[in-house]
Amino acid sequence: MADLEEHTPIAGTPIEDMGMAGADDAGAGAGEETTLLPEIEPETPKLVLFADLVKSPIVEVVVGSGDDRTTYSAHEAVLVKSPEFAKQVDKFAPGGPRQIVYTDCDIDAMGSVVEYLYTGEYFPKRTSGARDAPLEKDPRQPSTDNEGLGLLVHARIYTLADRLQLPELKSLAHSKIHRTASTAKGELAYARYVYKESNPEDATIRKPVAAFWATRSYSLRHDAEPEFRAMCLEFPQFSYDVLQLVLDQQEKKRGGDDGPSRIVTLTTLILTSKIHPTYYILHPTSILPTLLRYTFHLQLCHSAPPYKTVHPRRLVLAPVIQNQQTMDPPSAPNPAGDAGVLPHFNSLSLQDAPSPPANDNDLDVLTMSRETAMKLIARSIVAIANAAGDVPATPPLSRPGTPGGRENHLIRSHRRTASRPATPIPAEKENHQPTELAPPEAGHDEPVTIHDIGAGAQPESVQRANMARKFFSKTVPKVGVEEYMNRIQRFCPLSTAVWLAAGSYMLRLCVIDRSVPLTYRTMHRLILACALVAMKALEDHRWPQKRFAAVGGVDEASLSRLELCVEFLLSFDVQIFTPEKLKELTLQLQRAGQAATMTCRLPTSFNLKLGSPKIRNAQAV
Helices assigned H by DSSP within 570-602: 579-599
Which of 3-7, 354-358, 608-612 holds the top average pLDDT? 354-358
- What pLDDT is stored for residue 600 in this prediction? 63
Q: In this model, does residue 312 exceed pLDDT 80?
A: no
Rounded to a whole number of angstroms, the distance between the first and last alpha carbons of the chain is 105
CA-CA distance, 236 to 241, in Å (whole number)? 9
Q: In this model, does residue 291 exceed pLDDT 50?
A: no
CA-CA distance, 560 to 551, in Å (whole number)? 14
Convert the pLDDT of each residue in 164-191 to its tens digit. Answer: 999 999 999 998 998 888 888 888 899 9
Query: What CATH class does 55-182 carry?
Result: alpha beta
Listed residue (240, 262, 264) closest to 314, CA to CA: 262
Pairwise pLDDT comparison (281 vs 249), residue with the higher score: 249
Helix then strand then coil, in percent of the chain rounded to 5, is 50, 5, 45
Convert the pLDDT of each residue in 542-570 to its tens digit. Answer: 888 999 999 998 989 889 999 999 998 99
To 5 degrees, how large is the angle CA 53–CA 54–CA 59?
A: 95
CA-CA distance, 89 to 80, in Å (whole number)? 8
Q: What is the 3-state secondary structure (H, E, C) of 447-464?
A: CCCCCCCCCCCCCHHHHH
Residue 179's contacts (CB-CB under 8 Å, 6 or more residues apart) are 126, 132, 133, 134, 135
Strands 99-102 and 58-63: parallel
> What residues form DSSP beta bridges with 74?
59
CB 159 within 8 A of CB 198: yes
Q: Can you give the pTM of this predicted structure?
A: 0.40
CA-CA distance, 388 to 618, in Å (whole number)? 43
Q: In this model, does residue 4 exceed pLDDT 60?
A: no
DSSP element (H, E) containing 165 = none
Pairwise pLDDT comparison (606 vs 199), residue with the higher score: 199
Residue 466's contacts (CB-CB under 8 Å, 6 or more residues apart) are 394, 397, 447, 448, 449
Average pLDDT, the chain: 73
CA-CA distance, 237 to 245, in Å (whole number)? 12
Residue 200's contacts (CB-CB under 8 Å, 6 or more residues apart) are 206, 237
CA-CA distance, 162 to 83, in Å (whole number)? 11
CA-CA distance, 62 to 79, in Å (whole number)? 13
- What pLDDT is stored for residue 263 in this prediction? 41
Q: In this model, does residue 320 exceed pLDDT 90?
A: no
Which of 100-104, 321-325, 440-444 holds the top average pLDDT? 100-104
CA-CA distance, 231 to 251, in Å (whole number)? 26
Q: How confident is the model at residue 19 (pLDDT cuts 50, 70, 90)?
A: very low
Q: How confident is the model at residue 471 (pLDDT cuts 50, 70, 90)?
A: confident
Pairwise pLDDT comparison (36 vs 507), residue with the higher score: 507
CA-CA distance, 126 to 247, in Å (whole number)? 36
CB 199 within 8 A of CB 155: no
CB 155 within 8 A of CB 202: no
Strands 99-102 and 70-75: unpaired
DSSP element (H, E) containing 75 = strand 70-75
In this prediction, residues 300-314 reach a mean pLDDT of 40
Q: What percent of the chain has pLDDT over 70?
A: 61
Neighbours of 153 (CB within 10 A): 24
Q: How confident is the model at residue 408 (pLDDT cuts 50, 70, 90)?
A: very low
Q: Which amino acid is at 4?
A: L
Handedness of CA 462, 468, 470, 473 (dihedral sign): negative
- What pLDDT is stored for residue 387 in this prediction? 82
Q: In this model, does residue 101 exceed pLDDT 90?
A: yes
CA-CA distance, 262 to 268, in Å (whole number)? 10
Q: In this model, does residue 429 exceed pLDDT 70?
A: no
- What pLDDT is stored for residue 342 in this prediction? 53
Q: Which amino acid is at 297?
A: H
CB 153 within 8 A of CB 108: yes
Q: In this model, does residue 299 exceed pLDDT 70?
A: no
Q: Parse the chain into domains and list their residue ranges.
A: 55-182, 200-329, 360-393+435-599
- What pLDDT is stored for residue 38 in this prediction? 52
Pairwise pLDDT comparison (405 vs 80), residue with the higher score: 80
Helices assigned H by DSSP within 67-221: 76-79, 83-90, 107-119, 149-163, 167-177, 184-197, 203-220
Q: In this model, does residue 133 exceed pLDDT 60?
A: yes
- What pLDDT is stored for residue 268 in this prediction? 53
Q: Which amino acid is at 349?
A: S
> What residues form DSSP beta bridges with 101?
62
Q: Which amino acid is at 222?
A: H
DSSP, res 510: I
Q: Which amino acid is at 326?
A: T
Give backbone dihedrals phi and psi of 144, rounded to 5 degrees, phi first.
-110, 105
- What pLDDT is stored for residue 99 in this prediction? 92
CA-CA distance, 184 to 223, in Å (whole number)? 6
Return the CATH number of the domain spanning residue range 360-393+435-599.
1.10.472.10
CA-CA distance, 187 to 219, in Å (whole number)? 13
- What pLDDT is stored for residue 357 in this prediction? 77
Q: In this model, does residue 7 exceed pLDDT 60?
A: no
CB 541 within 8 A of CB 495: no
Pairwise pLDDT comparison (406 vs 361), residue with the higher score: 361
Pairwise pLDDT comparison (56 vs 603), residue with the higher score: 56
